[in-house]
Amino acid sequence: MQKRTLGKSNLQVSALGLGCMGMSFSYGAPKDKQEMIALIRCAVDRGVTFFDTAEVYGPYTNEDLVGEALEPVRDKVVIATKFGFELRADGKPGWQGLNSRPEHIKQAIEGSLKRLRTDVIDLYYQHRVDPEVPIEDVAGAVKDLIAAGKVKHFGLSEAGVQTIRRAHAVLPLAALQNEYSLWWRKPEEEVIPALEELGIGLVPYSPLGKGFLTGKIDENTKLGSDDFRSTLPRFQPEAMKANQALVDLLQAIARSKNATPAQVALAWLLAQKQWIAPIPGTTKLARLEENLGAAAVELTPGDLSEIETAAAKITVQGNRYPEQLEQMTGR
């Protein structure tokens, strides 16, 4: 597995990481813990060194899972987790709101360290920008945690350009985690140019469009009520039918490369910038191996131009989130 460095930080990760959220949160019922531990360790065996979780995934159970799985190889991997939600007092899934007050961050890190069975978090993201707390205060709190040896690198998720600049001025950011893929390209407008200017890495989540770009989901797919995609405008049948054109494009390129649509979608991301490290998630070994195979798919300048020309003719239908969740991005 190739390695990449996130921006101007010295944080080196595998070109493809593993997003662990779906193992215990959002995509239906939590999966069997021992099976997921085995899957994470298989990823390590195949050269993955970059693992993503968050305290809100579960809540807490995903960090527990990742911590147990990676404890035997802790010195060989990079663990990223996130803070910034006020979790429900009853421990059930969901949150009561955002909370990035410095005292809350310093409380949250202790729980994450314990669950992840480590004494330091490699990459600590603010999960969503809290409009009630100046980003300078957030960066200052993480700076204190770095000074205390509890965090190595600072990141933001779904932040707007002005917030990125203000945070970076207080404490250099190693990475921004944002949704980015062939069906969500808004980061190209302002965010990616700013990251390039400042020397900040990009970690795309949902690089396969929450599964849609794999070609395994279409308008006839019935998503369960416990699958959060069932609430997303982009996953309603009429939107999926319209968006099939993007999958058709990926399938056409994939046939010429002896690859799969998922591999082409990931290879396209890897070809955009050397400081981009996507984190596709999965709960299946076959899908993990398929995704990691994307690192060997070479897209030529001609291929990229062909994808660009064809994609420009496709207008993706449907918002990516309901309004309440969309309002929490780009701040």
In the chain the domains, ranked by start, together with CATH numbers, are: 3-208+272-297 (3.20.20.100)
Q: What is the pLDDT of residue 92?
A: 85
Q: What is the pLDDT of residue 203?
A: 99
Q: Which two tokens stand for residue 34?
A: 């021992």
pLDDT at 17 over 90: yes
**pLDDT bracket for residue 89 (50, 70, 90):** confident
Q: How far apart are CA 56 and CA 87, in angstroms?
A: 7
When pLDDT is averaged across residues 267-290 and rounded to a whole number, the result is 98
Q: From 113, 101, 102, 135, select the one nearest 55 (Cα to Cα).
A: 113
Per the CB < 8 A criterion, the answer to whether 241 and 315 are in contact is: no
Q: What is the pLDDT of residue 184?
A: 97
**pLDDT bracket for residue 160 (50, 70, 90):** very high
When pLDDT is averaged across residues 307-314 and rounded to a whole number, the result is 96
Q: What is the pLDDT of residue 133?
A: 98
Q: How far apart are CA 61 and CA 42, in angstroms?
A: 20
Q: How far apart are CA 307 and CA 320, in angstroms?
A: 22
pLDDT digit string, tens, across residues 183-238 = 999 999 999 999 999 999 999 999 999 999 999 999 999 999 999 999 999 999 99
**pLDDT bracket for residue 136 (50, 70, 90):** very high
Q: Has 57 been annotated as catalytic?
A: yes
Q: Which two tokens stand for residue 48?
A: 């993955």
pLDDT at 94 over 90: no
Per the CB < 8 A criterion, the answer to whether 180 and 143 are in contact is: no
- Identity of the residue numbered 70: L
When pLDDT is averaged across residues 159-180 and rounded to a whole number, the result is 98
pLDDT at 14 over 90: yes
Catalytic residue among 57, 60, 124, 180: 57
pTM greater than the 0.85 cutoff: yes
